[in-house]
Amino acid sequence: MSGRLTHGWRRLKSLRPVPAGAGISVVMPVAYDWRYALESLPHCYGIADEVLLGLDAGRVSWSGKRYPFNDKAFHAGLRRLDPQGKVRVVEADFHAQASPRDNDTFERNALSRLCRPGNWVLQIDSDEWMTNPLEFRDWLRQRRWERAVQASWETVYKVVGRTALIIDGPPVLIQVASSRRGQLVHMRDCASWPLLSPLKLLHFAWGRSRSELKRKLENWSHSQDFDTAAALRRWDGVTLANHRRQRDLHPIHPGLWPALKAVPLSRLRRMDGGRA
């Protein structure tokens, strides 16, 4: 048997069945952009059995920088959005690893180990909206074997007035769910066979105010991967008037963000397909 077939057979044998009646545990790291987490929560709350929000106890980012945090407003928002008592805030040291990416992976693994046994663990970032949660939940209920579940990203690059400038290009796939605990090897990625789900995430990656974007670029898991000041200057120069002429916007992966399209914000707010 060839090496490739042997490796494939080992991966196949390593697959385990998903427990009958497996539910969904949502994991969401929270930091300087906690307001976005409060926006994201209603889009996943209805399909979740539990929601674990990770928060660094020292209010230190994955890049090792302290950030301001309004605990009173954050917890007031959670009380308003959590009528069923599903949400648990887990505070710990999530910044002590060797690099921002290692801190990212460590936090997600630590939170996944605290999730309800047997559940799927769904990793949702605070700046992501699930646009079709009910469809995704029904699809996930039909899975019988554990896999690394992928979703499709639609990325917001910039918001100008009442218009969102969204990446116009082929779908970008991201791993978001697994039935395994503590086995992520690189941020949200785990060493299991990927399976594309119907889930679509609206990702406000760069679609925020300039000050919020600057703070994110200086603190997130990619903060050491590119010239953040140069990327911010380019972002500054993008307008409604010139967005159609913009090409190749991703600062790390050429070709990943080939162009931009304009979409009214009102349309985005109708994209959630009905909250569960």
Judged by phi (left if over 0) then psi (alpha if -120 to 50, else beta), residue 221 lies in alpha
CB 108 within 8 A of CB 184: yes
Residue 13 in any domain: the answer is no
Q: Token digits for 215?
A: 């703070």
For residue 131, the enclosing domain spans: 22-268
CB 125 within 8 A of CB 43: no
Residue 8 in any domain: the answer is no
Residue 9 in any domain: the answer is no
Per-residue confidence band for 79, with pLDDT thresholds at 50, 70 and 90: very high
Of residues 57 and 226, which shows the higher confidence score? 57
- pLDDT exceeds cutoff 60 at 57: yes
Of residues 15 and 64, which shows the higher confidence score? 64
DSSP the chain: --HHHHHHHHHHHH--BPPTT--EEEEEEESTTHHHHHHHHHHHHTT-SEEEEEEETT-B-TTS-B----HHHHHHHHHHH-TT--EEEEEE--S-SSSHHHHHHHHHHHHHTTSPTT-EEEE--TTEEES-HHHHHHHHHT--B--EEEEEEEEEEEEETTEEEEE-SSPEEEEEEES-SS-EEETTEESS-EEEEEEEEEE-SS-S-HHHHHHHHHHSTTTTSS-HHHHHHHHHT--TTTGGG-----SSSTTSS--EEEEEHHHHTTTT-S--
Predicted local confidence at residue 85, as pLDDT? 98
Residue 274 in any domain: the answer is no
Instruction: Tell me the pLDDT of the chain averaged across its residues.
Output: 91
**Which CATH number characterizes residue 255's domain?**
3.90.550
> What's the full length of the chain, in residues?
276
Task: Return d(Cα 73, Cα 88) in angstroms, integer.
Answer: 16
Predicted local confidence at residue 222, as pLDDT? 77
Residue 206 in any domain: the answer is yes
- What is the share, in percent, of the chain residues with pLDDT greater than 70? 92
173-212: per-residue pLDDT in tens?
Answer: 999 999 888 889 989 998 788 999 999 999 999 999 999 9
pLDDT (average), residues 249-265: 94
Per-residue confidence band for 7, with pLDDT thresholds at 50, 70 and 90: very low
Predicted local confidence at residue 2, as pLDDT? 52
125-168: per-residue pLDDT in tens?
Answer: 999 999 999 999 999 999 988 889 999 999 999 999 999 999 99
Count of domains observed in the chain = 1
- pLDDT exceeds cutoff 90 at 15: no
- pLDDT exceeds cutoff 90 at 238: yes
Residue 4 in any domain: the answer is no
Residue 203 in any domain: the answer is yes
Residue 1 in any domain: the answer is no
